[in-house]
Structure 1
Amino acid sequence: MQLDIAFVTETFPPEVNGVAMTIGRLVHGMRERGHRVSVVRPRQGEADTGNEHEVPLPGLPLPGYPGLRFGLPAGRRLRKLWGQRRPDLVHVVTEGPLGWSAVNVARRLGIPVTSGFHTNFDRYSVHYGLGWMRPALAAYLRSLHRRTQATMVPTEALAADLAGEGIAGVRVVGRGVDTRLFDPQRRSAELRASWLGEAASVGPVCLYVGRLAAEKNLALVEKAFSAIQVWHPQARMMWVGDGPSRKALQEKHPDHLFAGMRLGEELAAHYASADLFLFPSLTETYGNVVAEAMASGLPVIAYRSAAAAELIEHRCNGCVVTPGDERAYVEEALWMLESEDRLSELSAAARFGMLPRGWDGVVSSFEQVAREAVGVQP
């Protein structure tokens, strides 16, 4: 039996972030399997009228995240929408007012409802001067997930954390990576030459990909690269992404390279053409960029949390250190760059470890949890 599933999300492609990318993959994968999938989301610009599969609703800009919006309460609209065509399942992706409305309406109509836990918004609050709100935000997030039949998460560690907080029905669905797009074969001598100039064969090139914002702990990227420069004076630092911290970073580091937002093959070439990926974030629920870097044959140094804890085997295909230990982080980054042979071995192991982690298995896991929530056997 094929399912009729309504996804409710604050973000969706073509918006660029990890949640949008993940949900885009799930929606595409479920449609390929023959399921009917609709998407309810905030309107993406004035000209956004949606289509037969996407229902745009009013929203407001998300503070600190230009280009992203959060949905407004929409109980009346959702009751009408699902009264006209009742889905078998409602899957709530994000926990904003739109998501809360969706949980309420689904429960009142007797429609099975599941949720996804994608972002630690309560941890983000500390970095935007709203730390005093963290307990309330955490309570709000947990309250929403306790009202759904299953909460889907990307890692076993996060599943254990949420289960320990009294959230029942936590299921690990995982995250995938496109190993055809993110491939070491996309390494570009021409691109490296544009970064390194006459030192194109020397390097190393250190890379950060992601949002340029306070919650990503970018000060440690700066600190680690400064230490790397002591031993490798011709090293270059490449930043890929955008965000509120970009201007200050560019002013502080005129010798660094800033590529802005890159997508698709351009992004893949940037990963593959670098030598070391610096990712010190402590606010991730997963961190898709870690998987993308490793699939590209780019060794990663990260804290032992989220995707890094699951994907990286220390000093075998990358390096992980105890969260918050900045000294160890810098020391491991230097260790990785001690020799070209060591970096090459880490690169090959990183790529090899990601080859089995495509999106098909993730979609299959999502489908299984959806069928269980609806009470339908495969």
Structure 2
Amino acid sequence: MKIAIVTDAWFPQTNGVVKTLSTTAEQLRGFGHDVCVIEPGQFRTFPCPTYPEIRLAWFPYRLIDRLLREFAPDAVHIATEGTLGAAARRWCRKQHMPFTTSYHTQFPEYIRARAPIPLAISYAHLRGFHGGARRTMVATPALQRQLEARGFRNLVRWTRGVDVDLFRPRPKEYLSLPRPIAVYVGRVAVEKNIEAFLRMEWKGSKLIVGDGPARKTLQEKYPNATFVGFKYGEELASHVAASDVFVFPSRTDTFGLVLLEAMACGVPVAAYPVTGPIDVVLQGETGVLDDDLAIAAVEALTLDPQECRDYALAHTWEAATQQFLTNLAPRPALESVVAATKPLSQNAQPAQR
């Protein structure tokens, strides 16, 4: 089957959306499908306000029209609500082509953190955007319930996976910081609520792996924390595995791939009991959820690393991609093809960072 994935989030961005989409595309190709990813690098772009590293396409409809006509997809998945997503949605509606969408980011909360725009207005816009889709894919039960309460319909589940070969237990000696080491991995931005982590009482070291618009300010304000910037592949996995607890201070993430990556390294998680962690973390087994982040981090130190690893081993990208494939809305004549699709290899390996 020919599958088009349209996304405003793509390399060189480093985030969970890009990781999810790139790995899913690779897995789909491993299943034998033809995948076309339409992304900002193919267009003239401008920096997204307040997110300059995110590039949005200028007036992309004409090129979207040409790319989709040339590829002639059997199914279209619109992954983001940016300018490319809007153009692809318009194209599908004009062509009477069924399409699916996915809800990766709680943009209303992100926008509210920067500007006094009521959540109701932002959610109304997103509800309209996703309303034309045959199905909208969400990562967790909690997110599904939250969106249903705001009037979203046709929601289906699309979970996530982890590369357990890359993210695995490794020597703790890799890091020489005073222990215990609490680590955060991700974008350094206001919506990630990192300052809650940096403010919490902690007898040991705080390590921040990542970068973003708030790094300079936070690094100056919290000189005792260690900021190392973005890390990738083996270096990233080594930093995570050498830590003692993974602290996830975000209250707005829809899943948090880094949670599974930490568990795969045998590192327990400390987080708030909110959407994302509440469906990913097994309370008292792979992590601790508490409204007091410091209490959660201290208690997480007592958990068994092997239980974290065992939990992560059950979450494969292959299974997540099969779920994505089942959720697609192909042309009616191809629905039986999707239902019968099986991976070419039962040992297909997910992409590494």
TM-score with structure 2 setting the length = 0.90
Partner of residue 346, structure 2 = none
Structure-2 change in CA distance of 1:280 and 1:87 (3 Å): same
Distance 1:41 1:7 in 2: 9
How far apart are 1:333 and its partner, in Å?
Answer: 2.3
Tell me if 1:171 matches 2:169.
no
Greater relative contact order structure (CA < 8 Å, 6+ sep):
2
Q: 2:191 aligns with which of 194, 215, 226?
A: 215
Secondary structure class of the residue paired with 2:55: strand
Secondary structure class of the residue paired with 1:319: strand
Partner of residue 53, structure 1 = none
How far apart are 1:313 and its partner, in Å?
Answer: 2.0
Distance 1:131 1:153 in 2: 26
Higher alpha-carbon Rg: 1
Q: 1:306 aligns with which of 262, 275, 292?
A: 275
Q: 1:242 aligns with which of 211, 215, 218?
A: 211
Q: Is contact 2:76–2:329 with CA below 8 Å preserved after alignment? A: no
Partner of residue 344, structure 2 = none
TM-score with structure 1 setting the length = 0.84
Q: 2:99 aligns with which of 93, 113, 118?
A: 113
Partner of residue 131, structure 1 = 116
Distance 2:262 2:331 in 1: 34
How far apart are 1:353 and its partner, in Å?
Answer: 0.9
How far apart are 1:133 and its partner, in Å?
Answer: 5.2
Cα root mean square deviation, aligned: 1.8
Q: 1:19 aligns with which of 13, 17, 20?
A: 17
Q: Alpha-carbon deviations, 1:74-129, whole Å to 9, x = none?
A: 2222223333442111110100122111111111112221101101111001222x
Q: Is contact 1:114–1:373 with CA below 8 Å preserved after alignment? A: no
Q: Is contact 1:302–1:319 with CA below 8 Å preserved after alignment? A: yes
Tell me which amino acid in the other structure corresponds to 1:151. T
Greater helix share, structure number: 1
How far apart are 1:372 and its partner, in Å?
Answer: 6.2
Distance 1:66 1:240 in 2: 20
How far apart are 1:373 and its partner, in Å?
Answer: 6.7
Distance 2:240 2:68 in 1: 43
Q: Is contact 1:149–1:373 with CA below 8 Å preserved after alignment? A: no
Contiguous gaps of at least 5 residues in structure 2: 341-353
Structure 1 segments of 4+ aligned residues over 3 angstroms from their partners = 371-375
Tell me if 1:75 matches 2:61.
yes
Distance 2:119 2:276 in 1: 23
Tell me if 1:205 matches 2:181.
yes
Partner of residue 273, structure 1 = 242
Paired residues in the alignment total 336
Contiguous gaps of at least 5 residues in structure 1: 44-55, 197-202, 230-234
Distance 1:331 1:15 in 2: 33
Q: 2:50 aligns with which of 56, 61, 64?
A: 64
Tell me which amino acid in the other structure corresponds to 1:350. C
Tell me which amino acid in the other structure corresponds to 1:376. E
Partner of residue 290, structure 1 = 259
